[in-house]
């Protein structure tokens, strides 16, 4: 199952925890485990405030996102493919992920991709854990299994928060229905 560059969507049954109404882009999936970024949990910190905290002038609108509960201080930069840094991993034909010390200085100079989001933290799963969660195999519960969807620029960068979750859940349902009909 190729999960990289696709979305995990928390089903409505997931309530009262960090994962409630989350949309996650899978950025790595291999024998060593899986990594992803929560797309729709915007922090209270603006990009300008973040820049001030680290000593880089970033007069750019927008917010830093909470990528997940793992490595809360690690910085990830999800973006469209027309841009690259010295440490960019191209995930598919649409999305890339960068994490290098040249990103923020370049951004301060106005050099950034058309579509992008900055994240602190990430999500992580041990080997086979995510596949078990998706399938609802014990010890995981089928009622709270992740929904899956392909990603698009509009779905990833064109909405936020609860709207992004609703849009992703709708797309997941449409794709599931298409598979049943074909």
List of residues 6+ apart from 61 with CB closer than 8 A: 46, 47
Beta-bridged to residue 139, according to DSSP, are: none
* Residue 1, in any domain of the structure: no
Q: Which of 141, 66, 80, 161 is nearest to 113 (CA)?
A: 80
Query: What pTM value is reported for the model?
Result: 0.94
Does residue 12 register a pLDDT over 80? Answer: yes
Say which CATH number the domain at 141 has.
Answer: 3.40.1740.10
Residue ranges making up the domain that contains 12: 7-181
- Work out the average pLDDT over 107-113: 95
Q: Is residue 2 part of a domain?
A: no
Is residue 59 over pLDDT 70?
yes
Q: How many domains does the chain have?
A: 1
On whether residue 53 sits in a domain, the answer given is yes
Name the helix (H) or strand (E) containing 48. Answer: helix 47-54
Tens of pLDDT, residues 16-57 = 999 999 999 999 999 999 999 999 999 999 999 999 999 999
Question: Per mean pLDDT, which range of 13-27, 83-97, 168-182 is the poorest?
Answer: 168-182
């Amino acid at each position: 199952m190729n999960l990289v560059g696709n979305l995990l969507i928390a089903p409505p049954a997931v309530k009262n925890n960090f994962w409630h109404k989350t949309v996650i882009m899978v950025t790595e999936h291999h024998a060593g485990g899986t990594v992803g970024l929560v797309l729709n949990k915007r922090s209270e910190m603006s990009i300008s405030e973040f820049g001030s905290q680290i000593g880089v002038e970033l007069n750019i609108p927008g917010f830093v996102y909470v990528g997940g509960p793992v490595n809360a201080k690690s910085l990830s930069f999800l973006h469209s493919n027309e841009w690259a840094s010295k440490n960019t991993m191209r995930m598919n034909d649409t999305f890339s992920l960068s994490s290098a010390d040249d990103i923020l200085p370049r951004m301060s100079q106005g050099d950034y991709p058309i579509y992008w989001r900055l994240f602190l933290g990430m999500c992580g799963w041990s080997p086979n854990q995510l596949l078990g969660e998706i399938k609802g195999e014990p010890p995981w519960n089928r009622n709270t299994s992740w929904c899956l969807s392909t990603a698009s620029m509009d779905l990833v960068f064109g909405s936020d928060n609860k709207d992004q979750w609703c849009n992703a859940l709708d797309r997941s349902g449409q794709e599931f229905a298409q598979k049943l009909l074909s």
